[in-house]
Every structure is written in C-alpha cells, then in structure tokens.
Amino acid sequence: MSAPVNVAVLGHLATMALQHGGEWEEIHDAVVELIEREKAQRETLETCERWFAKHSAVAPLINGGVAEHPMLGMIRAALGRAQGEPA
C-alpha cells in the first residue's frame, strides 16, 4: 500500500515550481520526498502502536472489561490520519 498523498499539496508544489521556473525533475523530487516523509511517519506510528499494545498495562473497569492505555488511542488516531482516514 502506498502512502496517501494530499493531492492539493502536490498541486500546490507543481504550481509553485512552474511559477518560479522550476523543472519537472524538481517537482518529482519534492513529491518523492513528501511520500517518503509520510511513509516514515506511518512506520513510526505503527511501531509505537505495536509497542504500546504489547507493553502497556490495561486498567480494569468498574463494570468489567479493561481500558487501553490512553496513549494507544492517540497513536491509533494519528495513524488513521496518516492513512487518510477522517479524524
């Protein structure tokens, strides 16, 4: 699965490069850099999610069941945003 790319950002990059005499190679390089950053962010979040899921203690709830560590919920929300899911 490829990293989700914000089309508006790519369009803006292309427009700026063309307005300032940029070459298509420069646009390509900027797009590749953007995709690599998004991929690295997603991989980091996935690593954090795995660690917290494995190592964080869960808290018992009064009415039964358990509650996950709050950080795990925040990591999963950030991971969803990185994958293009609505917040």
- Return the domain boundaries, the chain: 7-82
Residue 54 phi/psi, 5-degree rounding, is: -85, -40
* pLDDT values of the chain reduced to their tens digit, one per residue, 87 residues: 444 556 667 777 777 777 777 677 777 777 778 878 888 888 888 888 888 777 776 666 677 766 777 777 888 888 887 766 655
Helix (H) or strand (E) holding 60: strand 59-60
Nearest to 82 by CA among 45, 32, 36: 45
* 24: Cβ contacts below 8 Å, ≥ 6 apart: 17
Look at residue 58 in the predicted model and tell me its pLDDT. Answer: 67
CB 86 within 8 A of CB 56: no
CB half-sphere exposure, 67, CA atoms < 13 A = 8
Look at residue 1 in the predicted model and tell me its pLDDT. Answer: 42
Look at residue 22 in the predicted model and tell me its pLDDT. Answer: 64
